[in-house]
Amino acid sequence: METDITQRCHLLIEDLSVARGGRVVFGRVSLRLRSGEIAELTGPNGVGKSTLLRAIAGFLPLRSGRMSWVESEVSDSTLLAERLHYVGHLDGLKSALSARENLEIGLGMLGRGRLAPLEALDRMELAHVLDLPVGYLSAGQRRRVALARLLIADRPLWLLDEPLTALDRHARALLKAIVADHLGSGGLMLVATHEPLGLPGTIQVRLGAR
């Protein structure tokens, strides 16, 4: 897979905590993730895995702690939002629009074209649904369309929430191959999951551990 990820970069999280509705969801989470590394967030339901991803993505305010994005030896936390892909546990697709149109919307938001929608769908073996409304697709196909958004723009940090949901064995193999390519090109990945991807060298971060 061709990519523009050519610079060494890393994400530094220090003593992060998030509160929602006055309740601390988690506290004092620290992690350093370097180019080519993947970390899996694990722990029981309600411990804050999805919340942590959403906080890193900038959707939730921090109660305390800080995040730094380091690229080419320059630290700039303001760059983080421009360097990440976030795919939540919901597919985030517009059912009335085609797979192509959904990816074009994503490209318009993310910028810096990488693969065209057809090429991205082909990597997920969904080229044949390019012009079908995603409302007609199965849950597994919809999930693969959502994951195809990872391939349309060059963003080194992937934040994925339960990416294996609704995927059959073959689709999981496709995702793992794409992830391996991303890491091999110097990308980073943080995933919240109950089902490990099974990739070598994965860093395990268990929330709620005592």
Domain ranges of the chain: 9-206
- Per-residue model confidence (pLDDT) at position 70: 86
Question: Is the pLDDT assigned to residue 111 strictly greater than 80?
Answer: no
Specify the CATH number for 9-206; select among 3.40.47.10, 3.40.50.300, 3.20.20.70, 3.30.460.80.
Answer: 3.40.50.300
pLDDT tens, position by position, 24-69: 888 788 999 999 999 999 988 888 899 999 999 999 888 889 998 8
- Assess contact for 118 and 129: CB atoms under 8 A: no
- Per-residue model confidence (pLDDT) at position 75: 61
- Assess contact for 87 and 75: CB atoms under 8 A: no
Alpha helices in 18-71 (DSSP H): 49-56
191 strand-pairing partners:
40, 160
- Per-residue model confidence (pLDDT) at position 95: 96
C-alpha distances (whole Å) from 83 to each of 95, 126, 183, 199 are 27, 26, 15, 23
- Per-residue model confidence (pLDDT) at position 134: 97
Q: Which residue has the higher pLDDT, 104 or 73?
A: 104
Cα–Cα distance measured from residue 128 to residue 49, given in angstroms and rounded to the nearest whole number: 34
- Per-residue model confidence (pLDDT) at position 209: 61
Extract the runs of DSSP E, i.e. beta strands, from 21-83: 23-34, 38-42, 64-71, 74-75
Q: What percentage of the chain has pLDDT greater than the value 90?
A: 59
Cα–Cα distance measured from residue 85 to residue 75, given in angstroms and rounded to the nearest whole number: 19
Question: Is the pLDDT assigned to residue 210 strictly greater than 60?
Answer: no
* pTM listed for this prediction: 0.90
As given in the structure block, the two tokens for residue 190 are 């943080």
